[in-house]
Amino acid sequence: MRITIAKQPKKTDTLVLPIKEGEHLTGKQKKALSKQTILDIESSIKEKLFKGKVGEQLLFKNTIIIGIGDKKKITKHSLKKSIGNINEPIKKLKATKISIVHEDANESLWLAASIFMNAYKFDKYLSKKDKKLTEITITGSTPEKTEIAKMQTLLESIYYTRDLVNSTSNDIDPNTLVEEAKKLAKENPEIKLTILDRKKLESLGCGAIISIGQSSTKGPYIVIMEYSSSDAKNPEQPIAIVGKGITFDTGGLYLKPSVHMNDMKMDKAGACTVLGLFKTFKDLKPKGRILGVMAIAENLIGKEAIRPGDIITAYNGKTVEILNTDGEGRVVLADAVAYTEKNYKPSKIISIATLTGAAIVSLGYDITAVLGTEKDLIGKIIESGEEVDEMCWELPLYPDYCEKVKGKISDLTNTGRDARAQTIMGAAFVQAFAGKTPFAHLDIAGTAWANEHKAGYPAGGTGVGIMMLQKFIENIYSQ
């Protein structure tokens, strides 16, 4: 995929012309069109067949007109919505190259990004592959080349992350997910890789992640990617991003209904997001020290599967009663967070996971739940999300609820003894392993996977979190 700039659109390109609500073609847009096409478009506007509202589209020969709404209300979110079902005319025109003609450089760049995010197609397992959109040229008013390069890096990482999340569990298992980390470390010498395999985890006393992965012949692993730039600020206090990497989740002996199990290849999305984020570092080179930690396992059934009521001992010595084997994500995160906290002394820990269905019940599929111990940290995450159109909403890590994950015959239980507020309970459990380190948790159960196509997000893995966490890191180290 490429985003380029030019003074004029190429004659062979499909044109995308954004028009604001109540407005007409601009002078630069008219220069790219034939006289007849100009007359046809202006006639449609005059007859109010096209008003320029968000989501409106018209197709004229090789030209797609899109409405981007009231000029006073244009946001990244509204621009993403404005490209709507643009895949249909692109497919109809068999377009592989597009030129955007628009007078605002920043809006053009975000439109280009949104079109690419929308055009993604997972065809890894198809014997016959359709032609893909390969290039978008921005004309009219053009962005800085550095901003284009940055956006292209982010888009490539989003595509990479989506491919990982969408890949089946017989393809991407714990072993192959570890191989992806090895590839990233090989490509970027500023990434140091540490792999804790089952034997090492056993010797360290990581009974939590072992208990979940013990029914599989593959894994479990805790993988630590340590990035540090030569000019890192505060290298002794890294930021740690810890991702859940359950490559398939049957629910264990608390077996999931089949309708909920079919897409459980996506339960590795948190770890895949960590990989995608670290993929950007080769080009974007953040000025800091960042840890990417992945808790990788399969939650399978079998004679070695953990049983409800079993009590295990985590890396930090805390005991956990397993009340629900389908609450496995927080259990694997427990050891990863505890190991990171003790051995790396991070300034802050952020966990990211498809952790609870309750997050979908409370916030739906468009908003990520964020919980944590410090208002400042949570605020910075929410602000970073807003900057890149990845909405987060804070749920309270209420102290009284944190008490509910404490056990009667063990230090903790993995679900609490109350079925309510499970998103909070899940975060409270993970936080119990972070010590006194400032902690935030992102529950992406609803946002990491799209059940159906929506603007910017084809059905399947979304790649949510890449842009937000990159922006968060950028903001932290620019202070």
- Residue 162 annotated in active site: no
Report d(CA 162, CA 265) in Å as an integer: 12
Give dist(CA 37, CA 30) in Å, integer: 9
HSE-up of 123 (CA within 13 Å, CB side)? 10
Helices (H), 136-268: 145-166, 174-187, 198-204, 207-213, 258-261
Q: Do residues 32 and 102 touch, judged by C-beta distance below 8 A?
A: no
Q: DSSP string of 365-433?
A: TT-EEEEES-HHHHHHHHHHHHHTT--EEE----HHHHHTTB-SSSSEESS-S-SSSHHHHHHHHHHTT
What is the DSSP secondary structure assignment for residue 310, as one 8-state letter? -
Query: How far apart are the C-alpha atoms of 113 and 184, rounded to whole Å?
Result: 24
Cα 205 to Cα 352: distance, rounded to the nearest angstrom: 23
330, 380, 404, 471: which is the annotated catalytic residue?
330
For residues 275-306, one letter each, b for 16 or more C-beta atoms within 10 angstroms of the residue's C-beta and e for the rest, the string is: bbbbbbbbebebebbbbbbbbbbbbbeeeebb
- Residue 171 per-residue DSSP state: T
Residue 98 tokens read as 């597009």
d(CA 265, CA 461): 10
Residue with tokens 């960042």: 290
Positive/negative CA dihedral, 208, 444, 111, 104 = negative
Active site residue: 31, 51, 233, 256, which one?
A: 256
φ/ψ of residue 284, rounded to 5: -85, -25
Which residues are known to be catalytic? Answer: 256, 330
